[in-house]
């Protein structure tokens, strides 16, 4: 197992080994001691998974204040474009966007630190995304950035005609609108 830095401060791609034979494949999703040896010390308290059809775009979500979450994201089945945006004002990568393909084939995991917005697009039918969080979901602390904000230049890998988004995600502010609201708060 090894980690690779991303362009976002404190975000890492993790290469988790997989072992396969004629029966199928085996891989550890998480091993606390191994992750600590890599310098990743999050204390995960909640596991989630989503099931998505091709073209689904989820995000860009985050929680604020004391309920901010780090996430360890992995694809169990299918393929996604995973995206994070650094919203931490004191970060060297503030407002930067990072995207990476995660799939059942490449077996990569993305560790998204507290203070980043997270989202993904499903590039295959029946895509299953599994992720661990180091803080419990708290609806009152939930926030988001509009996933189709042109200023972010995110390539979701899905044509405009095939995109499936929730009404809730389409109501989120653009990044500049969000930052302006925050500066007034």
Among candidate residues 35, 61, 146, 178, the one labeled active-site is: 61
Structure tokens at 26: 């085996």
**Contact indicator for 136, 46 with CB cutoff of 8 Å:** yes
Angle of CA points 62, 11, 111, to nearest 5°: 70
Q: Tell me the pLDDT band of 49, cut-offs 50, 70 and 90.
A: very high
**Contact indicator for 122, 53 with CB cutoff of 8 Å:** yes
Tell me, what's the pLDDT at 20? 87
Say what percent of the chain tops pLDDT 90. 82
The residues that bridge with 48 in the sheet, in sequence order, are 131
Task: Let me know how long the chain is.
Answer: 185
Tell me, what's the pLDDT at 32? 87
Place of tokens 């989202």: 119
pTM of the entire predicted model: 0.93
Query: What contacts 45, CB < 8 A, 6 or more positions away?
Result: 133, 134, 135, 136
Looking at the predicted structure, is the pLDDT value of residue 157 above 70?
yes
Mean pLDDT for all residues in the chain: 95
pLDDT digits (tens, 9 = 90+) for 113-152: 999 999 999 999 999 999 999 999 999 999 999 999 999 9
Q: What is the mean pLDDT of residues 167-172?
A: 97
Q: Tell me the pLDDT band of 16, cut-offs 50, 70 and 90.
A: confident
The residues that bridge with 103 in the sheet, in sequence order, are 79
DSSP state of 164: B
**Contact indicator for 145, 79 with CB cutoff of 8 Å:** no
Q: Please indicate whether residue 61 is annotated as part of the active site.
A: yes
Q: Is 110 helix (H, G, I), strand (E, B) or coil?
A: strand
How much is the CA Rg of the chain, to the nearest whole Å?
16
The domains of the chain, with CATH numbers, are: 2-184 (2.60.120.10)
Angle of CA points 162, 116, 97, to nearest 5°: 60
Tell me, what's the pLDDT at 25? 84
Q: Torsion angle of alpha carbons 91, 15, 78, 74, nearest 10°?
A: -50
**Contact indicator for 178, 145 with CB cutoff of 8 Å:** yes
Q: What is the mean pLDDT of residues 47-68?
A: 97
Which of residues 55 and 17 earns the better pLDDT score?
55
Q: Please indicate whether residue 131 is annotated as part of the active site.
A: yes
pLDDT digits (tens, 9 = 90+) for 63-107: 999 999 999 999 999 999 999 999 999 999 999 999 999 999 999
Say what percent of the chain tops pLDDT 70. 99
Among candidate residues 35, 98, 131, 178, the one labeled active-site is: 131
User: Which of 71, 53, 72, 87 shows the shortest CA–CA distance to 164?
Assistant: 53
Q: Tell me the pLDDT band of 27, cut-offs 50, 70 and 90.
A: confident
Give the β-pairing of 46-52 and 127-133.
antiparallel
Looking at the predicted structure, is the pLDDT value of residue 185 above 80?
no
């Amino acid at each position: 197992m090894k980690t690779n830095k991303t362009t976002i401060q404190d975000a890492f791609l993790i290469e988790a080994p997989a072992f396969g034979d004629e029966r199928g494949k085996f891989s550890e999703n998480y091993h606390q001691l191994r992750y600590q040896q890599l310098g990743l010390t999050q204390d995960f308290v909640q596991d989630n998974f989503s099931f998505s059809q091709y073209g689904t775009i989820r995000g860009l979500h985050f929680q604020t204040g004391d309920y901010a979450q780090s996430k360890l994201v992995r694809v169990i089945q299918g393929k996604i474009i995973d995206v994070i945006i650094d919203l931490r004002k004191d970060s060297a990568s503030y407002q930067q966007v990072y995207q990476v393909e995660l799939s059942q084939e490449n077996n990569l995991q993305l560790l998204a630190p507290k203070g980043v917005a997270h989202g993904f697009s499903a590039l295959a039918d029946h895509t299953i995304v599994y992720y661990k969080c180091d803080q419990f979901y708290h609806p009152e602390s939930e926030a988001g950035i509009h996933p189709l904000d042109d200023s972010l230049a995110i390539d979701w890998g899905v044509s405009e005609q095939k995109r499936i988004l929730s009404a809730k995600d389409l109501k989120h502010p653009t990044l500049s609108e969000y930052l302006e609201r925050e500066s007034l708060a």
